[in-house]
Amino acid sequence: MTFVAKQWVFLPVVGVLSLFLQPFALGNPQVPCYFIFGDSQDDNGNNNYLNTTAKANYPPYGIDFPEGPTGRFTNGRNQADFIAELLGFEGYMPPFANIKGQDITKGVNYASAASGILDQTGRQLGDIVSLNQQLQNHRRVTSQLVRLIGNEAATKEYLAKCLYTFAIGSNDYIDSYLLPEYYPTSRLCTPRQFARMLIKEYSQQLRKLYRLGARKIAIFGLGFLGCVPGLLSIDGTCVDSLNSEVQLFNEELKPLVDELNTELSSAHFIYVNVTAITLSTMPAVSAGQCIPGQIPCSNRNQYYFWDDFHPSEIVYEASSRLAYSALSSLLNAYPFGIGSLADTDSREKLEIQ
């Protein structure tokens, strides 16, 4: 893979990505609601009014999004937007920061840029909404849903049909473990110990969501952080040691999914293999977080990275489609893809018959 960092350089993405800019078949959504937990991959405005540098509500972010800069860390739609479209929703899930009234019945996006599994992650950048805080926000939303729906039993039945996605953990490395000047974690834990510490906390958080009524939950693994433009080595090549450290975390996710599915009644957890999905495309690079008002390249659909850390819209579409369809269940997702996860009620009825 070829990478050039610290300047605006654009190299073409492999031609297969051009096949993904196809219209979506919108209709009756597969699930009644969709809830998103995560970081800047999915943030659509939750950080806009926080005292933090981790925000993207200014140009050229959103240059290809109908509403312009909204807080999405890319040129157009992000991962959560594409999954919502694939599920059949006509609109996107509102950020928690902006929810009003019955907005919550279709779902909520809680994702916050720079956030992580650990509460400490990203704090050097200012205020962020950690995963624990995102779960607290969801608890508030479920309480509101009880009032809207009328009773707790009906609300739990409703929530059990919804889809929940988690795409988080990258910042626990980028904005915690790799910053010894701010956090002592790397001096106290080996990479394997750190990965297991994250998994232990993550398991407790996922169980907490289960107790709030969630039953269909997709967990995204981490990508090749060592090949992200902002983290490349001085000579512009991938940092293999970082990729190896992150893989220690990924290796724990499939066993975690098996454990949760075994121990939690009626639970359906899946693992989305982001590294396998990434290998389905050939990355090229733009580098540097977007500078306010800077003019980006005109052929954005041909490039992998939008800024120093985030993919372009076309890459989010490609990866979302692969996670949804999971044509190779043993490769892209386990034990099946997001589309099948959304249809688990129908699958179980067919098996019973």
Nearest residue to 43 (alpha-carbon basis) of 70, 83, 64, 82: 70
Is 310 one of the annotated active-site residues of the chain? yes
Distance between start and end Cα atoms, the chain: 49
Nearest residue to 124 (alpha-carbon basis) of 78, 181, 162, 84: 181
**CA–CA distances in Å: residue 257 to residues 218, 220, 254, 327:** 9, 11, 5, 19
- Using CA atoms, how far apart are residues 256 and 264, in angstroms rounded to an integer? 12
- Using CA atoms, how far apart are residues 327 and 333, in angstroms rounded to an integer? 9
- Using CA atoms, how far apart are residues 82 and 313, in angstroms rounded to an integer? 9
- Using CA atoms, how far apart are residues 179 and 125, in angstroms rounded to an integer? 12
Task: Determine which one of 308, 310, 320, 340 is catalytic.
Answer: 310
| Sheet arrangement for strand 34-38 | 34-38, 163-167, 216-220, 268-272, 333-334
Query: What is the secondary structure of 125-176 as a DSSP string?
Result: GB----HHHHHHHHHHHHHHHHHHHSSHHHHHHHHHTSEEEEE--HHHIIII
Q: Would you say 168 and 115 are in contact if contact means Cβ atoms under 8 Å apart?
A: yes
The token duo for 284 is 């090229």
Is 268 one of the annotated active-site residues of the chain? no
Task: Determine which one of 307, 312, 319, 320 is catalytic.
Answer: 307
Q: Which residues are catalytic?
A: 40, 307, 310
